[in-house]
Structure 1
Amino acid sequence: MKNHNLIKARKKKNLTQDQLAKMLGYKGKQSVANWENNYISPPLETAILISQLLDEDINFLFKQNVQETHTRKRVAI
Protein backbone atom coordinates (compact mmCIF):
# COMPACT_ATOMS: atom_id res chain seq x y z
CA MET A 1 0.00 0.00 0.00
CA LYS A 2 1.46 3.32 -1.07
CA ASN A 3 2.05 6.28 1.18
CA HIS A 4 -0.45 8.53 -0.58
CA ASN A 5 0.02 11.37 1.92
CA LEU A 6 3.72 11.58 1.16
CA ILE A 7 3.10 11.45 -2.59
CA LYS A 8 0.43 14.17 -2.44
CA ALA A 9 2.56 16.43 -0.23
CA ARG A 10 5.56 16.09 -2.55
CA LYS A 11 3.47 16.82 -5.64
CA LYS A 12 1.79 19.76 -3.88
CA LYS A 13 5.27 21.31 -3.64
CA ASN A 14 5.85 20.50 -7.35
CA LEU A 15 8.82 18.29 -6.51
CA THR A 16 9.92 15.15 -8.29
CA GLN A 17 11.22 12.19 -6.32
CA ASP A 18 14.69 13.04 -7.55
CA GLN A 19 14.43 16.68 -6.43
CA LEU A 20 13.24 15.70 -2.95
CA ALA A 21 15.99 13.11 -2.67
CA LYS A 22 18.65 15.68 -3.56
CA MET A 23 17.21 18.17 -1.04
CA LEU A 24 17.66 15.44 1.58
CA GLY A 25 21.25 14.73 0.53
CA TYR A 26 20.55 11.51 -1.37
CA LYS A 27 22.14 10.89 -4.78
CA GLY A 28 19.02 9.55 -6.47
CA LYS A 29 15.30 9.02 -6.16
CA GLN A 30 15.37 5.35 -5.07
CA SER A 31 14.98 6.05 -1.35
CA VAL A 32 12.05 8.40 -1.93
CA ALA A 33 10.42 5.81 -4.21
CA ASN A 34 10.89 3.16 -1.52
CA TRP A 35 9.28 5.40 1.13
CA GLU A 36 6.36 6.25 -1.16
CA ASN A 37 5.82 2.57 -1.93
CA ASN A 38 6.10 1.68 1.78
CA TYR A 39 8.95 -0.74 1.15
CA ILE A 40 10.93 0.97 3.92
CA SER A 41 10.49 3.94 6.23
CA PRO A 42 12.95 6.81 6.41
CA PRO A 43 15.08 7.25 9.52
CA LEU A 44 13.40 9.51 12.08
CA GLU A 45 15.77 12.41 11.38
CA THR A 46 14.99 12.18 7.67
CA ALA A 47 11.24 11.94 8.30
CA ILE A 48 11.43 15.13 10.37
CA LEU A 49 13.34 16.91 7.60
CA ILE A 50 10.83 15.70 4.99
CA SER A 51 7.96 17.06 7.06
CA GLN A 52 9.74 20.42 7.32
CA LEU A 53 10.55 20.58 3.60
CA LEU A 54 7.00 19.67 2.60
CA ASP A 55 5.37 21.84 5.29
CA GLU A 56 3.34 18.90 6.59
CA ASP A 57 2.96 17.31 9.99
CA ILE A 58 5.15 14.24 10.42
CA ASN A 59 2.16 12.26 11.68
CA PHE A 60 0.23 13.11 8.52
CA LEU A 61 3.09 11.91 6.34
CA PHE A 62 4.19 8.84 8.27
CA LYS A 63 1.51 7.97 10.86
CA GLN A 64 0.66 4.60 9.32
CA ASN A 65 4.33 3.63 9.13
CA VAL A 66 4.93 4.62 12.75
CA GLN A 67 1.85 2.71 13.94
CA GLU A 68 2.81 -0.43 11.98
CA THR A 69 6.36 -0.34 13.34
CA HIS A 70 5.07 0.10 16.90
CA THR A 71 2.62 -2.78 16.44
CA ARG A 72 5.33 -5.07 15.07
CA LYS A 73 7.58 -4.29 18.03
CA ARG A 74 4.78 -5.01 20.52
CA VAL A 75 3.96 -8.32 18.82
CA ALA A 76 7.64 -9.30 18.93
CA ILE A 77 7.72 -8.79 22.70
Structure 2
Amino acid sequence: MRVKNIKLVKARKDKGLTQENLADKLNVKKSTISNWENGYSSPQVAQAIKVAMLLNTEVSFLFSSEVQDFHTDE
Protein backbone atom coordinates (compact mmCIF):
# COMPACT_ATOMS: atom_id res chain seq x y z
CA MET A 1 0.00 0.00 0.00
CA ARG A 2 1.30 3.42 -0.99
CA VAL A 3 1.53 6.05 1.76
CA LYS A 4 2.34 9.67 0.93
CA ASN A 5 5.41 10.94 2.81
CA ILE A 6 3.93 14.12 4.26
CA LYS A 7 6.94 14.61 6.55
CA LEU A 8 9.28 14.80 3.56
CA VAL A 9 7.00 17.21 1.71
CA LYS A 10 6.69 19.50 4.74
CA ALA A 11 10.42 19.45 5.52
CA ARG A 12 11.25 20.30 1.90
CA LYS A 13 8.73 23.14 1.77
CA ASP A 14 9.86 24.46 5.17
CA LYS A 15 13.34 24.85 3.65
CA GLY A 16 11.83 26.75 0.71
CA LEU A 17 12.82 24.07 -1.78
CA THR A 18 10.88 22.81 -4.77
CA GLN A 19 11.12 19.19 -5.83
CA GLU A 20 13.39 20.36 -8.63
CA ASN A 21 15.67 22.29 -6.21
CA LEU A 22 16.03 19.25 -3.97
CA ALA A 23 16.60 16.97 -6.94
CA ASP A 24 19.38 19.25 -8.21
CA LYS A 25 21.10 19.21 -4.80
CA LEU A 26 20.94 15.40 -4.73
CA ASN A 27 21.85 14.93 -8.39
CA VAL A 28 18.65 12.98 -9.08
CA LYS A 29 15.63 13.58 -11.30
CA LYS A 30 12.66 15.61 -10.09
CA SER A 31 10.53 12.51 -10.66
CA THR A 32 12.65 10.67 -8.07
CA ILE A 33 11.71 13.24 -5.42
CA SER A 34 8.07 13.00 -6.50
CA ASN A 35 8.18 9.21 -6.20
CA TRP A 36 9.61 9.42 -2.67
CA GLU A 37 7.02 11.99 -1.60
CA ASN A 38 4.12 10.05 -3.11
CA GLY A 39 5.17 6.70 -1.66
CA TYR A 40 6.08 4.99 -4.93
CA SER A 41 9.67 4.42 -3.84
CA SER A 42 12.14 5.19 -1.08
CA PRO A 43 15.70 6.45 -1.27
CA GLN A 44 18.73 4.28 -0.73
CA VAL A 45 20.36 4.76 2.68
CA ALA A 46 23.09 7.09 1.38
CA GLN A 47 20.50 9.25 -0.38
CA ALA A 48 18.24 9.30 2.69
CA ILE A 49 21.16 10.57 4.78
CA LYS A 50 21.86 13.34 2.26
CA VAL A 51 18.19 14.33 2.20
CA ALA A 52 18.05 14.51 5.98
CA MET A 53 21.24 16.60 6.09
CA LEU A 54 19.93 19.02 3.45
CA LEU A 55 16.61 19.37 5.26
CA ASN A 56 18.28 19.60 8.68
CA THR A 57 16.40 16.71 10.19
CA GLU A 58 16.80 13.02 11.02
CA VAL A 59 16.55 10.15 8.55
CA SER A 60 14.31 8.26 10.96
CA PHE A 61 11.91 11.22 11.11
CA LEU A 62 11.63 11.56 7.33
CA PHE A 63 11.50 7.93 6.32
CA SER A 64 10.04 5.98 9.24
CA SER A 65 7.19 3.72 8.22
CA GLU A 66 3.68 4.62 9.17
CA VAL A 67 2.34 2.13 11.69
CA GLN A 68 -1.18 1.09 10.88
CA ASP A 69 -3.67 -1.11 12.64
CA PHE A 70 -5.28 -3.77 10.53
CA HIS A 71 -8.44 -5.45 11.70
CA THR A 72 -9.56 -8.67 10.12
CA ASP A 73 -12.82 -10.51 10.41
CA GLU A 74 -12.03 -14.09 11.30
For Structure 1 versus Structure 2, the TM-score category normalised by the shorter chain is 0.7 to 0.9
State, as a whole percentage, how many aligned pairs show the same letter: 45
Between Structure 1 and Structure 2, the one with more helix by share is 1
Task: Name the Cα RMSD after superposition.
Answer: 1.4
Give, as a single letter, the amino acid of the residue that structure 1 aligns with 2:10.
K
For the residues of structure 1 that align with 2:39 and 2:16, how far apart are their CA atoms? 21
Choose which of 18, 21, 30 in structure 2 pairs with 1:19. Answer: 21
Matched, 1:55 2:56: yes
Q: Which runs of 5 or more residues in structure 1 are unaligned?
A: 68-77
Q: Which runs of 4+ in 1 moved over 2 A?
A: none
Greater Rg over alpha carbons, structure: 2
1:72 maps to what in 2?
none
Q: Which runs of 5 or more residues in structure 2 are unaligned?
A: 68-74
1:37 maps to what in 2?
38
Aligned length: 65
TM-score by length of 2: 0.83
